[in-house]
Structure 1
Amino acid sequence: MRIPVATYRIQFNSQFPFNSAKEITNYLAELGISELYASPIFQARAGSSHGYDIVDPNQLNVELGTQEDFVALVEDLKKYNIGWLQDIVPNHMAYDSQNKYLMDILENGGNSSYTNYFDISWNSPFASSQEPILAPLLGQFYGDCLEKGEIQLQYDQSGLSVNYYSLKLPVNLESYAIFLSRNLGELARTLGRKHPIFVRLLGVLYMVKNFPQDTHPNQRQDQIDFVKGLLWELYTDNTEVKTFIDDNLKLFNGEPGKPESFNSLDNLLSQQFYRLSYWKVGAEEINYRRFFTVNELISVKIEELKVFKNTHELICSLVKAGHFTGLRIDHIDGLYNPTQYLERLKEQVDDTYICVEKILQPREDLPGNWPVQGTTGYDFLNYVNGIFCKTENEEAFTQAYYNITGWKTPYEQTEKDKKHLILERNLAGDVDNLAYLLRKISSKYRYGNDFTINGLKRALAEILTRFPIYRTYIDQDGITDNDRTYTQDVIEQAKAHLPFLNNELNFIEKLLLLEYDDSLTEAEKEQWLYFVMRLQQYTGPLMAKGAEDTALYVYNRFVSLNEVGGKPDQFGITKAEFDEFNQARQSRWQYAMNATSTHDTKRGEDIRARLNVLSEIPEEWESQVKKFSEINRTLKSRTDKKNVMPDANDEYLFYQMLIGALPFVEHEYEDFYTRLKDYLLKAIREAKVHTAWLRQNSIYENAFIDFASRVLEPSDSNQFLQEFIPFQKQIAYYGIFNSLSQTLIKITSPGFPDFYQGTELWDFSMVDPDNRRPVDFELRRDYLKKIKEKSQTDILQLIEELLASKEDGRVKLFLIVQALKVRTTYVDVFQDGQYLPLEVEGQFKDHIVAFAMVHNNQSTITIVPRFLTGLIQPGQYPLGTQVWNDTAIKLPSEVSSAWTDAITGQTVKADKQLLVGDVLQYFPVALLTNNPGK
């Protein structure tokens, strides 16, 4: 198995295709990257900016280049010994006209070859329904769209289709009779009933009306193609038939302003295997499983072996061909049976590196029976971020939040409230489906016969909202001790809150724990298990939408902690907790990914590094925010004395993001202000307090954006900017050192480092789509070339130059290059070595994080500073004994006494301890390597 040394995440799209990646392979090699980590490259919806809306997993995306372009990129990577870690999407595909599997179902219904490909109500073994598949893709109510003429019937060689802007849905062949029967008499009078053309058309109509329903899907498709071919031939070869069909199209498509003129099209649509509807309908009534709450992404029944094999045919062939050297599994928690999926995948790709996108809560671990090498690193992200948040200042920071905003609801309650909100507004239809299935099960037992749908829905809602993790993994093999504990704790909490539903909750607990009665048949046991595994598929989306995409935009106490997989109410972690996490990771998941920025993070890694500085100075922060608010008080909008926009909580978020994301250079301010306002609009919609995606409040949105525009108006008289900029620059200065520390820890901790595109320089990106902006690789290539050249002549002079111009980000790039050299040279140490926490002594012991990696006779030591506002003034550097005084690192007996700092090239001597001031003489962080035998 090829284990990555370091990965570099690329977001492929039409603006950055295979050929663009080929242009940077040499750069990645020079940087020290071992694996290109690619976003999905399979055929996606036209114009996709991210690739997760796949329409055909067995074709490369034509917008990224040709097969030859792809192979050329692979071969170029191999030339530099760079592997390819591919992101794959087993959970869902796009609900799109280009999705041939789905379109076949929408055209043929239960007679389709692909009926069991998607997670729709038709495929439920115990609560199936043949009602039309919902197509909640309209921008307004169905009736409005219809009568405005936005839904149009069209005809081409592929047959009749229903069109709504770019959406094109097929018409089932049986309903062609409705269309062809209209005005047939007029055509008969024009051609004559015995005219050969008219007789042929009658033959087509007869075949349509008498189309066999019990044929094999392949035979059915052959017959459909035959009938469509005959009709197309008549259309293209005969003027009268063409006119007949074109006139019927015009008739069916109606005339805006005349509602009755759309009756024919309405009738035709009612005969389809799908039901067009307003997109908001999907929030309350849904009969297919989606990715989270995204109507345009329909979930795949990957648990069906045929579906698995078909959708993974290209993926597995590219692995076997050596083009892919590793796989990253997207949204593993969405699958019906994740363990089964991973086992099947492992059988196909054998000894190939696999990591999963799995969000772990603090102290949660991956299932031990998964045949994977680890996660994509959100757990690491939150731990490394936590050690730069000063835990002892939590009370002061919480008080500041309350004093400024009046907010006093604990995060735990906020998260639960927002999960309930999501259930009510976005997942109501999904909960309905679970409740009906549960009612069907409970009605078979005397102790469940009186349960009502309403009571079961309330009980399910309470259970779903209280799960503290993304999901459990109960399956046909039973239940683990951890999952049993989580489930029992949730039920007990639900009982305490809803005592009048204890009977329902007792029954649900019995189901979730698979406590089968002796009287149950095998079929009934299967039904219980099916319900449990279905329910598990919804705790993840609820956590993602309720916590990640709502609560994290509402609870703004300290937004550095508001990250995917994070707990904002956990105000940082101790060094001991970080060491414990790394030791556990090294023992079980030493090949996992270490991430600090991804395409899904809420804010860039260097924004968090800056914001963490505020945790050191809560009193000063509170004082500054009060000044900012007072200065900007008159810039707010008011509808009355009480209704002020934006509210204090949103204003508090605004100041934090401004602190964290403001560029170093003034000429970038204008573009940043535009990006910031886009972010703010997304943030308040995600928060769902004053506005939301489903119910946009333009008054509040405009008021907030207008406020931001006034606050950021560049002028000599702008009192806010005069007060804000000096304070922000001070925070940004200290943030640089946090960033360097964070970067080195990522590279040298157990696991391997992942670099999101462009983050080798300062990363002040905000949430997507801001973090998918194009990357200036030409600038980075130029920086890297000069850094490598100068490091060969006088590295200390280079360091002095980099620190003097640290705002351009080259100092971060330099650190990455130097540290990745060590990572490559000492690959066994980092992949298989022992993690040793190092004890720090002296006056500033709490300001240093240090640990060693030891393997055989080789060792490395990582030393980074933190909490520097109390040690140095802005403009000073955390270097030398004049700063660090007697602060020293105790060395364990198993490590060497002779060291070289791989970053500066300087030799360091030690006798049972390292003086921090001696080690950090020239650069703010250090990575020591031992010299065996010296």
Structure 2
Amino acid sequence: MTATSPTTSPTTPQHDQPGHVPAAPLQALGPSGHSTGPGTGETLPGTTHPPTQASGGYAPWSGHVPGPGRRTPVTTYRLQLSEDLTFADAENLVPYLSRLGVTDLYLSPVLAAAPGSTHGYDVIDHQRVSEVLGGRAGLESLARTAHDAGMGLVVDIVPNHMAVPTPAWHNQPLWSVLREGADSPYAAWFDVSVDEPILMPVLGRRIGEVLADEELVLETMVVPGQEHLGPQHVLRYFDHAFPVAAGTESLPMHVLVERQHYRLAYWKVGDEEINYRRFFDVGTLAAIRVEDPEVFSGSHALVLELVGSGVVNGLRVDHPDGLADPGGYLSRLSAASGAAWIAAEKILAPDESLPTSWSVAGTTGYDAAWRIDQLQVDPSGAARLGALMQELTGDAPVDLGRVTEEAKREIIAGSLASEVDRLARILDDLTSRDVRLRDHTFKDLRACVIELLVAAEQYRAYVVPGTPPTPETVAVVHRDAEVARARLEADQSETLDLVVALLLGEPVGSEGLSSSAQRAEAVIRFQQVCGAVTAKGVEDTAFYRWTHLTSLTEVGGNPGGFALSADEAHAWADRVQATWPDTMVTSTTHDTKRGEDVRARLDVLASYAEEWTDLVHRLRAATQRVRPVDLDGRSENLLWQTLWGTWAPGSADPMDADRLGRYLVKAAREQKTWTSWTAPDLEREQALTDYAAHLLSDEEVTRQMEAFASLTARAVRACVLANKALTLTWLGVADVYQGSEVTRTSLVDPDNRRVVSYTGASGLEAVLERLDAGQSPRGLDEEKLALTARILRLRAQRPETFVGPRSGYRAIPVTTSFAFAYARLLDEEPDVVVIARRLSYRLEQLGGWREESVVLPEGTWQDVVSETRTQGGFQRLADVVGEAPVVVLARIPRAVQAITSQETDV
């Protein structure tokens, strides 16, 4: 199967044409009888980019918006596919999602994955759609149903790695390499040198003991999926199976094992000696060399065929930072897909911007998510919450840098030691061959590499061998170098300068060094290792240790910033809108450590820091008898905040002891201080989970928590609804994660992949129908659903206001910091205005809006929820917003105003 690489847009298929929003009574605009909302048969004029010059100054294809004729999503709905949510199940959801206002389905990976996979990121075959999910026929049926409803299909793809499954034969390219080594047609696929045996650290004991006890067994069998090859010799180790190199099957077992193209080893050997690049430190995910044109073609042929044939309309790219050249890959993907809409899962440092050279629409939204949260975090709560953290954990509010540094060093010395050593050996070999450079020792080179990795704030730099780096990249690397220099010995400073020059591609040493393949490898591997160290050291270790306010320790988050001002948020949004009008904004994903509603509850704690501290003290005293005497302080502070963030007894999604316990064990193992994945302290883990279960059932704890819930209810409601509205209106493509149209108590995966109740009397479909029939929302769940539906339908009616080159962003003047207001522009004219309440509790303490005001753009504006109308100009916030957490105002077109006036006259 070959890749489809159109150089011009094909004839636009029917499903790329603007779709229709189905009839629904939640009208947002227009007087009775003259609705411009759903039900009019009005098309969605913003789902494709016409091949004409846009008025906003953007060409129809600039690399940041899809090419002419290519679909741009307006609102995506993320579905985590699995055995419990197949293509057929997703197809059954299309009527509900269409009624909700969704314009595009956004699917987790659809290719064949490892047996038992619950997420799809462990791909085993790039040429097959997952049979578990319904196969290609099921995917095409889903696409047809979605397209008939006017909806597009966005699919998640995984270019960085493939699974190392059990048994290994499920991954046929890997099986081929293990069997044939350098002679395999797939020898170039995996990021490993086939000149040496590939380490397979799967043994439960050391190889000598395994051989002595005859746990390795030679079998002859027909390998599933390779029936055409006939019977093969297979080496078995319990559930594992490995191929046997031709001609070695008759050797004694200890000799046979030595003669393979792989090395079976004790699992603990992996961290120190693994010799293939992995997804971070996950040994069951082996990286592939997608930078190789043959590998790109072989691993993308089916996906590109699905895009070329119109089955798939857009792509989400998983973890591009792991690739040798992310920018080059994305350019190749954009060209091969005919300039389809592509979003990159890029985690940015707080002050980092997405490289403008990337041919993508933008990020998947982590950069927006943390800013939305921090807009609702009261800076005055930092000191008190910090004091509580220090009391329980010993970590002071100023210790985040220390905690992060310690975590990164532990990762470098532990699970990523082999990758760091491999990079240092490359640099050592490179310099030892040059007489001008050979006095720089391996020890010094390794020390410099480690300090650069520890100092790095970004996931990676973007240096392409043979291409001069940008001034921004040079500045970032030099900043890291100065931090590293302060931690090195004085004599190592010169070595650091050499390493930096080598990594930036600057002239050093002899002439031949500049074009050396080994130098190019060093440049690439440093960036790949840097991303892995940052991910595992910061987000998967330090963020579990830092418990100041856990809503801030999110993927791509900025807990050191704590709170964000309105001016900072507006400035960031202005910059993003100018360059990335089709970027994605989300607040919950399959990767978030806490769902949006859990984070909103936690955000509110900063406004109630004193009351929260008192509550924790009372709860500790009330449960002192059952609290484990050796309970780790970080785990305890995390427990209290998690208990509050998921406190929703009586709701449709209550927390239970099993879910809470599993989360706490995972979090503690990620902390790696008193238990870990490789050395679990089962007894202390059980004590922790038993204590958590007691907290959920203890009557006094329930009474105290319910009292705090009552105290904070208004602020929590305001935060939940305001944050949702911001997510759906702030910038670009809005993403709704499955089930997040109502409140959820979701924690980190796999908890956030739980089944959502769509059908039945209390399912989301029935609730939406009741709301559409005119029933008032009952509780926060239904309020959130009603707000989501109103906004999504507005987006469907006015797509070009929210995405594409005609859209724009402008801050709206307000006289108070407790309101965050902005306009979404269409052709530079305000078309939708959003005013969100911030720090609701402090606003109440000051007496509410009083005479605070907003300057609305001229015209007539209608609230999409209450349907009340407001004139532009100077208005009191008390009149426009009142007690609402957020208002979304849509401009009423002049033609509709004229009709309204005529009807009024009649």
Q: Same fold (TM over 0.5)?
A: yes
What letter matches 1:724 in structure 2? M
1:806 aligned onto 2:779:
yes
Deviation at 1:391, TM superposition (A): 2.0
**Match of 1:382, SS?**
helix
1:402-421 to structure 2, matched below 5 A, reads 402-408=390-396, 410-421=399-410
1:665-744 to structure 2, matched below 5 A, reads 665=650, 672-714=656-698, 718-744=699-725
Deviation at 1:513, TM superposition (A): 2.3
Equivalent residue for 1:464? 453
Higher RCO (CA 8 Å, separation ≥ 6 residues): 2
1:861 aligned onto 2:833:
yes
**747-756 or 544-553, larger mean C-alpha shift:** 747-756
Query: Is the Cα contact below 8 Å between 2:719 and 2:885 reproduced in 1?
Result: no
1:563 aligned onto 2:554:
yes
**Match of 1:438, SS?**
helix
**Match of 1:412, SS?**
helix
Q: CA 1:900 to 1:668, structure 2 compared with 1: closer, same or farther past 3 Å?
A: closer
Equivalent residue for 1:837? 811
Deviation string, structure 1 residues 336-368 (Cα, Å, up to 9, x no partner): 011221121122111210110100111211111
> Structure 1 CA distance, aligned partners of 2:267 and 2:793?
51
Deviation at 1:631, TM superposition (A): 2.3
Equivalent residue for 1:136? 201
Equivalent residue for 1:236? none
1:626 aligned onto 2:600:
no
> Structure 1 CA distance, aligned partners of 2:771 and 2:706?
34
1:151-300 to structure 2, matched below 5 A, reads 151-157=216-222, 158-178=231-251, 264-300=252-288
Deviation string, structure 1 residues 425-445 (Cα, Å, up to 9, x no partner): 101111111111110111133
Alignment gaps of 5+ in structure 1: 123-129, 179-263, 638-643
> Structure 2 CA distance, aligned partners of 1:618 and 1:540?
35
1:885 aligned onto 2:856:
no
Equivalent residue for 2:378? 390
Q: Structure 1-normalised TM-score?
A: 0.84
Q: Structure 2-normalised TM-score?
A: 0.86
Equivalent residue for 1:188? none
Deviation string, structure 1 residues 517-557 (Cα, Å, up to 9, x no partner): 48412675443232111111111111110001000000111
**Match of 1:62, SS?**
coil
> Structure 1 CA distance, aligned partners of 2:709 and 2:238?
47
What letter matches 2:849 in structure 1? W
Deviation string, structure 1 residues 479-505 (Cα, Å, up to 9, x no partner): 111110111111111111112421321
Deviation at 1:668, TM superposition (A): 6.3
1:745 aligned onto 2:726:
yes
Query: Is the Cα contact below 8 Å between 1:610 and 1:732 reproduced in 2?
Result: no
Equivalent residue for 2:171? 99
1:444-523 to structure 2, matched below 5 A, reads 444-475=433-464, 476-499=466-489, 500-517=491-508, 519-521=510-512
Equivalent residue for 1:778? 759
**730-739 or 899-908, larger mean C-alpha shift:** 730-739
> Structure 2 CA distance, aligned partners of 1:19 and 1:519?
62
> Structure 2 CA distance, aligned partners of 1:612 and 1:703?
29
**Match of 1:297, SS?**
strand
Equivalent residue for 2:790? 818
Query: Is the Cα contact below 8 Å between 1:137 and 1:295 reproduced in 2?
Result: no
> Structure 1 CA distance, aligned partners of 2:259 and 2:764?
63
**Match of 1:343, SS?**
helix
What letter matches 1:688 in structure 2? K
> Structure 2 CA distance, aligned partners of 1:615 and 1:721?
22
Deviation at 1:725, TM superposition (A): 3.0
> Structure 2 CA distance, aligned partners of 1:59 and 1:148?
39
What letter matches 1:152 in structure 2? V
Q: CA 1:900 to 1:679, structure 2 compared with 1: closer, same or farther past 3 Å?
A: same
Query: Is the Cα contact below 8 Å between 1:42 and 1:60 reproduced in 2?
Result: yes
What letter matches 2:814 in structure 1? V
Greater fraction helix: 1
1:913 aligned onto 2:874:
yes
What letter matches 2:684 in structure 1? Y
Query: Is the Cα contact below 8 Å between 2:436 and 2:510 reproduced in 1?
Result: no
Q: Using the aligned pairs only, state the percent identity.
A: 32
RMSD (CA atoms)? 2.1
Deviation at 1:782, TM superposition (A): 5.1
Deviation at 1:400, TM superposition (A): 3.0
Equivalent residue for 2:587? 596
Deviation at 1:707, TM superposition (A): 2.4
> Structure 1 CA distance, aligned partners of 2:610 and 2:164?
51
Q: CA 1:556 to 1:525, structure 2 compared with 1: closer, same or farther past 3 Å?
A: same
**Match of 2:858, SS?**
coil
What letter matches 1:661 in structure 2? T
**Match of 1:389, SS?**
coil
- Quick check: which has more Rg, 1 or 2? 1
Deviation at 1:864, TM superposition (A): 1.5
1:25 aligned onto 2:13:
no
What letter matches 1:478 in structure 2? P
Query: Is the Cα contact below 8 Å between 2:555 and 2:592 reproduced in 1?
Result: yes
> Structure 1 CA distance, aligned partners of 2:601 and 2:438?
58
Equivalent residue for 2:18? none
**Match of 1:64, SS?**
coil
1:70-149 to structure 2, matched below 5 A, reads 70-96=139-165, 97=168, 98-122=170-194, 130-149=195-214
Alignment gaps of 5+ in structure 2: 1-69, 223-230, 898-906
Q: CA 1:478 to 1:523, structure 2 compared with 1: closer, same or farther past 3 Å?
A: closer
**141-150 or 387-396, larger mean C-alpha shift:** 141-150
Deviation at 1:764, TM superposition (A): 1.3
What letter matches 2:670 in structure 1? E
**351-360 or 625-634, larger mean C-alpha shift:** 625-634
**518-527 or 161-170, larger mean C-alpha shift:** 518-527
Query: Is the Cα contact below 8 Å between 1:404 and 1:626 reproduced in 2?
Result: no
> Structure 2 CA distance, aligned partners of 1:785 and 1:779?
7
**Aligned length, in residue pairs:** 809
**Match of 2:459, SS?**
coil
**42-51 or 385-394, larger mean C-alpha shift:** 385-394
> Structure 2 CA distance, aligned partners of 1:840 and 1:854?
18
> Structure 2 CA distance, aligned partners of 1:733 and 1:276?
59
**Match of 1:884, SS?**
coil
1:904 aligned onto 2:866:
yes
> Structure 2 CA distance, aligned partners of 1:636 and 1:397?
22
Equivalent residue for 1:428? 417
Deviation at 1:95, TM superposition (A): 1.1
Counterpart of 1:851 (choices 800, 813, 822) is: 822
Deviation string, structure 1 residues 266-286 (Cα, Å, up to 9, x no partner): 332121111112222211111
Query: Is the Cα contact below 8 Å between 2:861 and 2:892 reproduced in 1?
Result: yes
Equivalent residue for 1:364? 352
> Structure 2 CA distance, aligned partners of 1:783 and 1:531?
52
> Structure 1 CA distance, aligned partners of 2:601 and 2:479?
38
Query: Is the Cα contact below 8 Å between 2:348 and 2:354 reproduced in 1?
Result: yes
**Match of 1:266, SS?**
helix
Query: Is the Cα contact below 8 Å between 1:784 and 1:813 reproduced in 2?
Result: no
Counterpart of 2:631 (choices 633, 646, 649) is: 646
> Structure 2 CA distance, aligned partners of 1:667 and 1:899?
35
1:314 aligned onto 2:296:
no
Q: CA 1:407 to 1:424, structure 2 compared with 1: closer, same or farther past 3 Å?
A: same
Equivalent residue for 1:326? 314
Equivalent residue for 2:366? 378
What letter matches 2:865 in structure 1? I
Query: Is the Cα contact below 8 Å between 2:858 and 2:871 reproduced in 1?
Result: no
> Structure 2 CA distance, aligned partners of 1:626 and 1:285?
47
What letter matches 1:836 in structure 2? R
